[in-house]
Each structure stands twice: as structure tokens, then as C-alpha cells.
Amino acid sequence: MNELLRLAWSDFLSLFLIFIRIGTIFAVVPFFNAEIIPRRITALIALFLSFILLPLVPKIQIRPDELNILMMVSILIHQMLIGLALGLAIDVIFSGIQIAGELMGFQMGFSIANVVDPMTGITAPITSNLLYITAFLLFFSFGGHHLLIKALIETFAIMPIGDRMVHTGFLMSVITYAGAMFVIGIKVSAPVVGILLLINVSFAIIARALPQMNVFLMAFPLTIAVGLIFMVLVIKMMPIFMTGSLDKAWVFMKAAMALY
């Protein structure tokens, strides 16, 4: 009877810690953390995946009399750190694309026409929502969700559940990768921002040479038209960009797991 209780305790504790790691990932990764997705649905999906992974994950070898509050808190923090790192690998891409959309909208004059993004629940320019939805559809079409599940399974082989110390290299790699969202935003918005900057400089020179010309009435529609044209070119290049970003995310996941 005691042996049966010990086996049930090991399965229950392993299931709980697997659920914590998966739930943390779903709390960060796009779509699952969207405002339009009920939290109960997200929790049920995380619990369903936890039951599927339970036979594949090595059981945690901690007896009930050995477990204390400090050890439990330490294990929970470790599972959350791993989940945050994996979720961050995907969320950085979409955050960078949102930054790019905001930069484009600001240069095109759309910053005063913000709308509520149903996925994130925040107000953002129309250009930001358009790029975010495009990247979101490309993410699923390229199998990004399969990549995330594959990385999740490998984490339990490389970083099994247990009480262990977190290396400084792991934390530094996560912080360094998080800064990549600004690089992504600048790279994606560079064509639109660059051409609109040249247009604004040209109109500034014209206004200086011909003061009697109403440059504002000419610049506003031209800026929007040229910005939309170059934005179409950016959207056409999005598949190549998303493929490269997902490859970098996969490299980061493997590198971060090796440093943990």
C-alpha cells in the first residue's frame, strides 16, 4: 500500500510540475495568451499536453518526507524560468513585428488612429495589427507550433524536473535574446521608414525653396500612398523573414537549454 502511494505521489508531482512548465509557456507565447482565448481553454490544453508527456518524462525522485517548502519553491521557479525562456523565443519575434508596425504607422501618420488589438488587448496602429496577423498566420503555416512542441519535449530530456541551480550563462543568453525584438523591429520597418524619411527631407527642401507652396496638403497623402506601397513589399518579404527568425529561435532554444 505504501509503495502504491509512493508511485501515485511521483506521478502526481511530475504531472503538476510538467503542467507548470507548459502553462508558463502558454502564458507567454502568442495566440495562447491572447485576450480572446479564455484562460480555462488554455489551462485545459496545457493539462492535456501534460497528460500526454507524463509517460515520456522521467519521474521526479523525491519522496514526500524529503520535500519541503524551500525545495518546492525552487523547483517551481526553475520550471517557470524554462517555460519563460521557451515562450520568449517565439514572443520576441511577434513583439519585434509589432514594434515595426508602430514605427511604420508613426511615419505614415497613423499613430492617431489606433485600434484595439484583439490578440494582445492593447491599442496599436492599424499597420501593427496587420503585420502581427500576417506573422501569426505565417507562423502556423510554417509549422511554428510543431517547433514549439518539439522544443518542449526536448527540454524534459535536457533539463529534467528537479532541484538544480541556474547558471549565469542561461540568464544572460535569455536577456541578450530578448533585446533582439528591437533589432527585428528596425529591420522589418527599415524600408518604409527609410523611404518616408527621404520624402520628408525632400518636402522640407521644397518648403524652404518655395514658401508659397502648401507642402502639408501634398505631403500627407503622398506619405500614406508611398508608405502603403512599400508596406506591401515588406509583407511580401515576410515569409523569408519569418523562416529566418524561426531558425534563430530554434538555435536560441538549443543554446539556452545547453547552458541551463
Q: What is the pTM of this model?
A: 0.80
**pLDDT value at residue 260:** 67
**pLDDT value at residue 1:** 42
At which residue does the C-alpha cell 519575434 appear?
A: 93
Segments of the chain with pLDDT less than 50: 1
Tens digits of per-residue pLDDT, 122-143?
A: 677 788 888 888 888 888 888 8
Maximum CA extent, the chain: 95
DSSP 161: S
- The cell for 222 is 503622398
Give how far Cα 122 sits from Cα of 115, 118, 125, 185, 201, Å: 8, 8, 10, 18, 32
Query: Which residues, in sequence order, are CB contacts of 129 under 8 Å at separation 6+?
Result: 101, 115, 117
Count of Cβ atoms closer than 10 Å to residue 60 Cβ: 19
Query: Which residues, in sequence order, are CB contacts of 188 under 8 Å at separation 6+?
Result: 96, 97, 100, 131, 234, 241
> Phi and psi (nearest 5°) for 15?
-60, -40
Tens digits of per-residue pLDDT, 84-99?
A: 888 888 888 888 898 8
